Each structure stands twice: as structure tokens, then as C-alpha cells.
């Protein structure tokens, strides 16, 4: 089969659905790739690069006459008319908003695969273009904010004086929000973030940001998105948004609920912000989270607040975004080509393939059936009712009493051991206690982002062993000294091995020369 890569028809779209790197992978799957002349020009990819990767360069008719056509944006009705029956079109589409296009694809008998509807399940992450675009948008949004902000993001200490770091507040800790707070933190800003899903607090804090806590929090719905807020939750979050935006230099909003943007920053909140502050509305494509956002534009309010509502942030970084998007396409084609023989095999029994299929062989398959993505399965109807839980206050009191009793018993045992033991045992016990304390503070002083759960546990143990063994190496007892040397050796191997593993992990993210 032939895969066609056309030039995007929207003159403002700088992305392309394939790069030379992804073309090589498509060819390895057994496909012949045809790229339209100049398709990658806006992404700084010349035609020669595609040819070197194994593709051929063709005109518009040659590309749209291929068995599979991969695009960034949805095709037009006239473009669909160029395709032959049973051909496959892969692109980002909005079937609910463009019924005329859906009908054109059905009537033409083509297989239409919508990349915007990839189910949010673990094994589909490699083809999730929404996450790809959100990741780039979050990063680019901070770049735009840094350009519009009148100061520096990182604090400076110089002979001429010092400047404080910028204070950035991020609303939403999805893919875009995490990318934004990571980029802002890397520039030296003080970052605070909030999400209605309280279970993402650990993700926020692991990246060095401060999680703003609110008592009323929403839960994640079954389709992987945050559920809508109740009136009480809405009031609580509005109070947080008002306080945080008034104190922030840069506010980044990312809230989208099934493509629609709820208002999180009102006109009154904007009026309370300092002159020179910046709002980056990453949800501008859905109408905007800020009440004053103008989608597609950057404006300055009467009180000097800059509101950035660009909807083409991924396209402002076309080279890398095209590479990431093209990789999503490759992963999809791997799924559709189980035999690696250049033949598309659509399996509608697969929830991922069914979830993205809009039309096939003249049949309308949209909307797809819902996919349960919640990690907690629903309780069976016949399950017995849970026992009445003890009141929270009573449970807390019981827990506190248990801790006090355990602490008292431990203290008595330690006192008894010291009082009725030899002087050498008391000395060893003191060394052990100091090793535990010092080891604990040494390990916990390492930032969370450098730990995996396994490394954190083993390094904590190794830190305690190393400190204790170093204190015992000078013992007059030969057996104690030998054991201390052996312990220090193995603990050091584990610790330095951890550094080696961390170095290899970091190397994976370094740009190749």
C-alpha cells in the first residue's frame, strides 16, 4: 500500500504529518510513502530529506490517490472527493462540529480515523495526539509568557542588587499544565499549581512546584477527564483563583472539559492583577478560561495585563511538533499493520481502533461506544453493603492513642537496654541511632524528581549502613572493622550504582549531536 503525506491546505498550518525519521519507520512497515512537493517546507524539512529517507515526491493528485492519507488537520470535502473508495484518511477531526465532512467521507466509502478520539487508556498513549499537542502548548505557552512579561523569570543576585523570581500560577495539572510548570520552573520561576483532581498533587510537587490545596475537589470521570464542579466546589476554587491570580506575575490556564473551556479567570480577577502581569490561556481553542480572552490574539487590558489567547502554539514549534505527531502516526500504523507487510487491517473489536473510526465502507460508526478508563471498576450490584465506618474523630483518636502507646513502649525498651547492658552495647546503640538519623536526613535531602520508589528505599537503607559502617571502621575489634569495611563497600556500590542509573536515564533525554 501507498501512504500519502499532503501539504496542509490551511495556509496558517506549519505542521506536517511525517518527517524523514518517521518516513523511515513507515517504509520499514512495508509501505511506500509519497510526500507532496513542499509538504515540510514550513517545518524546515526539505523534499530532499524525505527522498533520503525512502519516500518519493509527488503532486497533489498522486498523494490523494494513495491507499492511506495522513494529515494534521481534517480534510476538506473537496480533498475527500479526490480519494478512492476503501482508502483510509488519518487526521485530527471534529465529527460533531462538521457533519458535512462526515457525510462526504461516508458517501465516498473511505475509512476515516479520527486521532482526536483516541481512548485515554494506557496502551493508547503512544498514539495520543491530544497529549502531544498539549505538551508542546504548555511549553510554548511559557515561552510566550516570558517574552510578554516585563521582568526575568529567574531571580538574580548581582553587584547592582537583586531581583525576585517571577511567580507563576498554573491552573490544571494535565499534560499541558505539567509541561508549563516544568518549563517555568526550569527558567527559575516560583511555581504554584492547582487542579480540581486532588490526586495529582504528588505529580505537581514532584516537579518542584507547590500544590495549592482546596478542601472541595472534584474527581476524575470515567472517561479520564475531570468531572464538572458542584456549586460548593466552584465557589471554593473561585476564591483560590482570585487570591492566586492577584499575587501572580504569570497565570497559565489549561482547563478543558470535553473540548469546552469553563471560565476560571473572571474580568474582576483580571482587574485585580498587577500591571505587567501575563495570562496565557491554553484553552483558547475551546473559548478560553479567561473571560477576556480573544481566541487567536494577544491583547492588553486597560490595567496593563497581557492576555495571550493563541490557538496555534504547537505550530509555532513546527519542527519538533511534526516529529512528535509523526511518531503518533507511526505508532498507529504499527497497530493497523500487524503483519508488518504494508497492509492495513482494521480490527473493530479493538477498543482503540473502534474508538477512532468515524466511517467505513459507507457506514457511519460515529460516535464510538464509551470506553471505561477509570482504574476503579464499578462495584457489582449484588455486593453487600459495607459496614458502618467509625466516625472520623473516633478513628483519629484511636490512631493517636496507638501511636502514643507504641512510642512509650519503645522508649521503655531503649532505656532498659541501655541501663542493663554493657558500655560497648550502649556505644553501638548510640552509633546506630545516629546513623539512622543522619541517613534519613541525607536521603530525604535529595529532590523527589531524582527518585524512583525502588531507588528511594534502597538509597535510604544504604545511607544508614554507610554512615554506621564508617563510624565503626576505626574499632579495635578486628571482626567489627572487617564487617564495617564490607558494609561500607556494598553500600557504596549501591549508592554509586544509583548515580550511574540516574545518569543513564538523564542521557536518554539529551539532544543527540
Smallest CA-to-CA distance from 23 within 15, 14, 32, 11 is with 32
469 is catalytic: no
pLDDT at 415: 73
Query: Of 47, 73, 120, 221, which one is the catalytic site residue?
Result: 120
pLDDT at 412: 76
Query: Of 42, 128, 195, 281, which one is the catalytic site residue?
Result: 128
**Within 13 Å and on the Cβ side, how many CA atoms surround 235?**
3
131 is catalytic: yes
Residue 134, exposed/middle/buried by CB under 10 A (0-12, 13-18, 19+)?
buried
pTM beyond cutoff 0.85? no
d(CA 173, CA 178): 5
Grid cell locating 473: 571502621
Query: Of 78, 125, 219, 421, which one is the catalytic site residue?
Result: 125
d(CA 417, CA 429): 9
Dihedral angle over CA of 333, 339, 343, 345, nearest 10: -70
Query: Of 131, 245, 285, 322, which one is the catalytic site residue?
Result: 131
pLDDT at 500: 76
pLDDT in single tens digits along all 513 residues of the chain: 999 999 999 999 999 999 999 999 999 999 999 999 999 999 999 999 999 999 999 999 999 999 999 999 999 999 999 999 999 999 999 999 999 999 999 999 999 999 999 998 999 999 999 999 999 999 999 999 999 999 999 999 888 999 999 999 999 999 999 999 999 999 999 999 999 888 899 999 999 999 998 865 555 555 555 556 677 888 889 999 999 999 999 999 999 887 789 999 999 999 999 999 999 999 999 999 999 999 999 999 999 999 999 999 999 999 999 999 999 999 999 999 999 999 999 999 999 999 999 999 999 999 999 886 544 444 444 445 444 444 545 555 566 677 777 777 877 777 776 676 676 677 777 777 777 766 666 666 655 545 554 455 566 677 778 888 887 887 778 888 888 889 888 888 877 777 777 777 667 666 554
120 is catalytic: yes
225 is catalytic: yes
CB 110 within 8 A of CB 309: no
**How many other CB atoms are there within 10 angstroms of residue 419's CB atom?**
8
Which residue is it, cell 497565570?
A: 251
Query: Of 225, 312, 354, 475, which one is the catalytic site residue?
Result: 225
pLDDT at 221: 53
Amino acid at each position: 500500500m501507498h501512504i500519502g503525506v499532503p501539504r496542509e491546505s490551511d495556509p496558517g498550518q506549519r505542521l506536517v504529518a511525517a518527517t524523514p525519521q518517521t518516513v523511515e519507520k513507515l517504509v520499514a512497515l512495508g509501505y511506500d510513502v509519497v510526500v507532496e512537493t513542499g509538504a515540510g517546507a514550513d517545518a524546515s524539512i526539505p523534499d530532499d530529506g524525505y527522498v533520503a529517507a525512502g519516500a518519493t515526491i509527488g503532486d497533489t493528485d498522486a498523494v490523494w490517490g494513495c491507499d492511506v492519507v495522513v494529515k494534521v488537520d481534517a480534510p476538506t470535502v473537496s480533498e475527500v472527493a479526490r480519494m478512492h473508495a476503501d482508502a483510509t484518511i488519518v487526521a485530527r477531526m471534529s465529527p460533531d462540529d462538521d457533519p458535512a465532512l462526515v457525510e462526504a467521507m461516508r458517501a465516498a466509502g473511505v475509512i476515516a480515523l479520527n486521532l482526536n478520539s483516541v481512548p485515554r487508556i494506557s496502551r493508547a498513549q503512544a498514539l495520543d495526539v491530544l497529549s502531544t499537542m498539549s505538551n508542546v502548548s504548555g511549553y510554548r505557552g511559557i515561552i510566550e509568557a516570558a517574552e510578554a512579561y516585563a521582568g526575568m523569570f529567574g531571580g538574580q543576585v548581582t553587584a547592582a542588587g537583586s531581583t525576585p523570581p517571577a511567580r507563576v500560577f498554573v491552573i490544571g495539572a494535565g499534560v499541558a499544565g505539567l509541561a508549563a510548570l516544568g518549563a517555568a520552573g526550569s527558567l527559575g520561576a516560583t511555581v504554584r499549581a492547582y487542579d480540581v483532581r486532588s490526586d495529582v498533587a504528588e505529580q505537581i510537587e514532584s516537579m518542584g512546584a507547590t500544590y495549592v490545596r482546596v478542601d472541595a475537589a472534584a474527581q476524575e470521570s470515567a472517561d479520564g477527564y475531570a468531572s464538572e464542579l458542584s456549586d460548593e466546589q466552584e465557589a471554593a476554587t473561585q476564591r483560590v483563583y482570585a487570591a492566586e491570580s492577584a499575587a501572580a506575575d504569570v497565570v497559565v490556564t489549561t482547563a478543558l472539559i470535553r473540548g469546552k473551556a469553563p471560565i476560571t479567570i473572571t474580568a474582576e480577577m483580571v482587574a485585580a492583577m498587577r500591571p505587567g502581569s501575563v495570562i496565557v490561556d491554553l484553552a483558547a481553542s475551546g473559548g478560553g478560561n479567561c473571560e477576556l480572552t480573544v481566541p487567536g490574539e494577544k491583547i492588553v487590558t486597560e490595567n496593563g495585563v497581557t492576555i495571550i489567547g493563541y490557538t496555534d502554539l504547537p505550530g509555532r514549534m513546527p519542527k519538533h511538533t511534526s516529529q512528535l505527531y509523526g511518531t503518533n502516526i507511526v505508532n498507529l500504523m504499527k497497530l493497523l499493520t500487524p503483519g508488518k507487510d504494508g497492509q492495513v487491517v482494521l480490527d473493530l473489536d479493538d477498543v482503540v481502533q473502534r474508538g477512532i473510526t468515524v466511517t467505513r465502507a459507507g457506514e457511519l460508526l460515529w460516535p464510538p461506544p464509551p470506553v471505561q478508563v477509570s482504574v476503579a471498576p464499578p462495584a457489582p450490584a449484588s455486593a453487600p453493603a459495607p459496614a458502618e465506618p467509625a466516625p472520623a474523630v473516633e478513628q483519629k483518636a484511636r490512631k493517636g492513642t496507638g501511636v502514643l502507646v507504641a512510642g512509650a513502649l519503645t522508649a521503655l525498651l531503649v532505656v532498659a537496654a541501655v541501663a542493663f547492658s554493657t558500655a560497648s552495647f550502649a556505644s553501638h546503640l548510640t552509633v546506630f541511632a545516629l546513623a539512622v538519623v543522619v541517613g534519613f536526613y541525607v536521603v530525604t535531602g535529595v529532590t523527589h524528581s531524582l527518585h524512583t520508589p525502588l531507588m528511594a528505599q534502597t538509597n535510604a537503607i544504604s545511607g544508614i549502613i554507610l554512615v554506621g559502617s564508617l563510624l565503626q571502621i576505626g574499632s579495635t575489634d578486628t571482626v567489627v572493622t572487617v564487617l564495617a569495611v564490607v558494609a561500607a563497600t556494598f553500600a557504596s556500590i549501591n549508592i554509586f550504582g544509583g548515580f550511574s542509573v540516574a545518569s543513564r536515564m538523564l542521557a536518554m533525554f539529551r539532544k543527540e549531536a
